[in-house]
Amino acid sequence: MLSPMLSDIEEMIGRLSRKEPLWLTEQCAHRLGDGSMKRRAPEQTRFKSQRIAMADDFEVQAAW
């Protein structure tokens, strides 16, 4: 089920010119691709930091 906000956005998109929805789609794709939509970014950054710390840990290295 879509949120009311998404329903409103869909209605607004229907009022755009022929080129504007394409531009909007490209902008969304670009933001998704470059990480600009960062809802999960802190989680990913923390995980990356943990992996780096593990790689530097001598006990972890000895286990491999």
pTM above 0.85, yes or no: no
- Tell me the average pLDDT across 1-30: 88
What does the pLDDT read at residue 36? 57
7 or 36: which leads in pLDDT? 7
* CA 13 remoteness from chain centre: 22
C-alpha 38: how far from chain center = 5
Determine the number of helices (DSSP H) and then strands (DSSP E) in the chain: 4, 0
